[in-house]
Structure 1
């Protein structure tokens, strides 16, 4: 009886797998959904797609199935776009068709489809437009956003000074600095770095960023009214997540890279001393006179590829794309990493090299392939703020401190500890030595 029962289970599993493969073959191919690996029942392509190393496994699948292919994450079909040309065609050239937000379970649990990041349709348009207009208005007040960043940079310097050259983890100091910029804009005040409620918020945002390394799920219907208290709170929290965790993580990863490559740190400091000096703080206007530093900041963002899969999109209608048909509502993952690591645009892309953004004469070189903030209608609305913050805080730190690792640079790991939808840098400590 036991053998008969076991045989029945095996038979049922085999039948289910065959049916799943047959259905997959019927809906994929030219004129249908893009091809991809055959999924298993319930779990889909979990054997081929590793959530903890999502971008890398999707990049490997693109080598086999081409620049447009599909995978099944659980029961959800997902179309993956690989390579700059394909990503550009979808997100920029055909922006309206790829403007919806794809499914992510963290968006349902935390935002319930509200706010700026995970909302869709008219609600998203209204809330995003309102947020951008309001931020511009705040920046045009008595104190510009640049001045708010410079003021916070002073408080960050104080925190670095308090370490007295001893080893410390920069994570929460950086998170507090970036978050305080948003606080000064949204609430009109900043918070002390030891404020318990403020630190609790920092910890929650750090945890949410790490939880983003998960599979996608269904979103629920949005409420009819877009301007209500729940949506206001959700949108405000979106600003904190987008304006704090991504920028602070980028800077934290950048400091690690400068510890790993001290010669690059020295060259940045030489340029800061030459252009800015020590008698005043760096300002945004200095950036055009500091091509090497600008190149380093760009190379940090390119190299770490903070959000390699972007935040997923979805098509707003049935879309004919590159010989395939993508049904309305299908989740789409644009692999930003394949543009940022394009070997023709960035020779030896796995090497951290500021020369990727420098011309032969040492002037700054722009690149269309540089899309760490995504592209098209869903491009990060805080791109301008983030670029300003990262440049000003990084240069202010290096103007005043030389950063030293607690181990030899050769021993430092720069491989992310988590690499799902976002790349999380490994834990490290540094010593900030006053210059």
Structure 2
């Protein structure tokens, strides 16, 4: 009897609480009336809320309101409304919604959960530090490529076998975020990496399981039950609920309590919630320990070495200056958690869907492969795996691969990785004539936007071609808002897009993703969570040999237009399975002595050889420098006019000769190199190509005022094929890097030039040999072909035939 009395009392409290918090409907957007106490919760039980909202928008309009328990929610279902609220009225609609779960888990810390000046300060700081680390540039690309190589090895081991790529994708992406955040990476097979990836997924599961608390805060309150240590032992419950003054909270039980308090929560979920909460606590502890380990070494760390060090350095700076700081330990590890939660789960989900969609749409794989093949014909091959090379700001060739870009746009649209964006209003406001009360949850229904039939014909069909016009140019990609809108748009959008692009292109180049024969058709209705998860599935990667094996393996990849000053070296018998020889200390010592000699002590060539006369070339002007800035994307680190730096590059390696170059350029792609040469040709400007500048006869320095075009940033090793005995690289690759790449395959580079920092372009131009020439012949004798940028007068030679 007592129990029934308590239950009745709890229901009356629930009714009173709901009535007191039920806002007036006057001026609100239209919407379903709902039931007493629970509102319209019955509409979304066992359904995807965003799909239900999409259907309701067809009846009540693009902006409608709906009662969920004690909360009135305003749902925005079109791009214009979301842009108006989240972007144009961002001051009012960029806050986090209020709710017990949100407040308890986020605690107004980090970047995802904070608000006001705290949020602005840390979002701005974090964005700047991610840019300083090279987000969207080659620095981040190298991190992603490393994980892509590991992933390809896994696919290679599973070739021809059905397997679920979920964990492998999660590990790879988790490692990328770990390297950005903590400056390190886990090795393949490290159990800590597996644990971290699974704990992060459990963190998302916990938030999803306890979401009802946000709509029914009354469920926090409880009623007395008889003490049951077996059920509520803290280690087993994970501290989900505790007996504290009639209120169930996140905490731990204290010995001596006579009664237990349990919230009126759905009992079947409690065991799952306990397990998930245990992992949340373990994850927090792990991040705190990571922070402490960084603190020990913070004084030794380089500036902006990783995100944690950047935060700790800012914290120390504020403490030293006596400035009140928000860079507390709690804030820092909360930011770490945000980076992992936002940076890993979303991209992993996108890649999981991508593998399934490619498997059931093989024609899309074919289109991507043909496009990659066309771009790779310019020499964009790297190591055994044919990996696309990208420029520093826009990952270069992405702009030349519209179908691949369209596939990514369609992936973001069709999957809708984060189906809803949940914001809140701190004060009462209006939106498009409707009244929005204070602390209203405003939901941006991205699913409805991406399934809008007025914008996307047959929206349930996966079709990348919808984003291409008849000229194969991208269109309507601005209608896809997979990374949010306004001030709270995703910080890591650049990193996520690069991850998707590099992972997809690398996988499609080497494998045909197949759906196992004889299996039932896969279920394409995703699972409801914070992200739109695919059902479990298996795929079967089939290894691609491209054109064939051995002689034919890479024959179709050797021509094209992108690799500028590319050396394709057919080393054949020259590649030998030997250990890599170490660089002799005497060479390093000699180099350090010569490097210490000031450049200004070196005599000028025009003074040393007065009989040498300058030819009738034009003089460099400010307009020319401005033109080169535009060609090299206004990157001041690649257009050098500083006199001290120019003196260094104008001297030969022995410090015996010096020119007077007024300008030093560092192209990174052959397109940039070609544009530089075209401008110099039309302006009649003299140019001297330069690599590692290790020449001892002044062959790589200017005689007078030639422009130095240095190739050291064009340094990719594009292919090492141990079967065919072929290595392919760009002109800026050093002998040391080339030898190291060969040694990873149990091979070594046969030419042994005494300066290992020499670049292959210059070594090849001088036909250097070294002591191994007797056995392996000259370098020219091992060349299969070259691709050379010449000038606007003569076309580029890309035939790779030896002259």
Superposition TM-score tier, normalisation by shorter sequence: 0.7 to 0.9
Q: Equivalents in 2 of 1:76, 1:165: separation in Å? A: 52
Q: Which moved more, 1:42-51 or 1:185-194?
A: 42-51
How big is the shift at 1:41? 4.0
Determine which of 531, 537, 541 is the counterpart of 1:422: 531
Q: Equivalents in 2 of 1:65, 1:20: separation in Å? A: 24
Q: Equivalents in 1 of 2:400, 2:25: separation in Å? A: 52
Deviations 1:295-327 (A, max 9, x none): 0111011000111112x1012322111222112
Residue segments in structure 2 that go unaligned for 5+ positions in a row: 218-248, 250-323, 545-803
Q: Equivalents in 2 of 1:78, 1:270: separation in Å? A: 47
Question: Which residue of structure 2 aligns with residue 240 of structure 1?
Answer: 340
Higher relative helix content: 1
Q: Equivalents in 1 of 2:97, 2:404: separation in Å? A: 35
How big is the shift at 1:244? 1.0
How big is the shift at 1:52? 4.4
Q: Equivalents in 2 of 1:153, 1:257: separation in Å? A: 19
Q: 1:350 to 1:21 in 2, by over 3 A?
A: farther
Question: Which residue of structure 1 aligns with residue 465 of structure 2?
Answer: 355
Q: Equivalents in 2 of 1:198, 1:20: separation in Å? A: 45
Q: Equivalents in 2 of 1:93, 1:108: separation in Å? A: 26
Aligned residue runs from structure 1 range 266-305, under 5 A: 266-277=366-377, 279-280=381-382, 281-282=387-388, 283=390, 284-305=395-416
Deviations 1:190-227 (A, max 9, x none): 11242222111111222233444434627x9xxx9632
Q: Equivalents in 2 of 1:192, 1:297: separation in Å? A: 29
Q: 1:108 to 1:164 in 2, by over 3 A?
A: same
Determine which of 250, 266, 269 is the counterpart of 2:350: 250
C-alpha RMSD over aligned residues: 2.9
How many residues get paired? 416
> Any idea what SS the aligned residue of 1:234 has?
helix
Aligned residue runs from structure 1 range 94-243, under 5 A: 94-103=89-98, 107-139=102-134, 144-213=139-208, 214-215=211-212, 217=214, 226-243=326-343
Determine which of 340, 361, 370 is the counterpart of 2:450: 340
How big is the shift at 1:116? 1.2
> Any idea what SS the aligned residue of 1:38 has?
coil
> Any idea what SS the aligned residue of 2:472 has?
coil
> Any idea what SS the aligned residue of 1:328 has?
coil
> Any idea what SS the aligned residue of 1:90 has?
helix
Q: 1:379 to 1:23 in 2, by over 3 A?
A: closer
Q: 1:42 to 1:228 in 2, by over 3 A?
A: farther
- Larger Rg belongs to: 2
**8 Å contact kept, 1:259–1:409:** no
Q: Equivalents in 2 of 1:90, 1:231: separation in Å? A: 28
> Any idea what SS the aligned residue of 2:169 has?
helix
How big is the shift at 1:421? 3.9
Q: Equivalents in 2 of 1:382, 1:404: separation in Å? A: 31
Question: Which residue of structure 2 aligns with residue 314 of structure 1?
Answer: 424
Deviations 1:44-83 (A, max 9, x none): 3211233641101111222222222222222122111111
Deviations 1:361-401 (A, max 9, x none): 22222433210111001101111110111001111111111
Q: Which moved more, 1:184-193 or 1:172-181?
A: 184-193
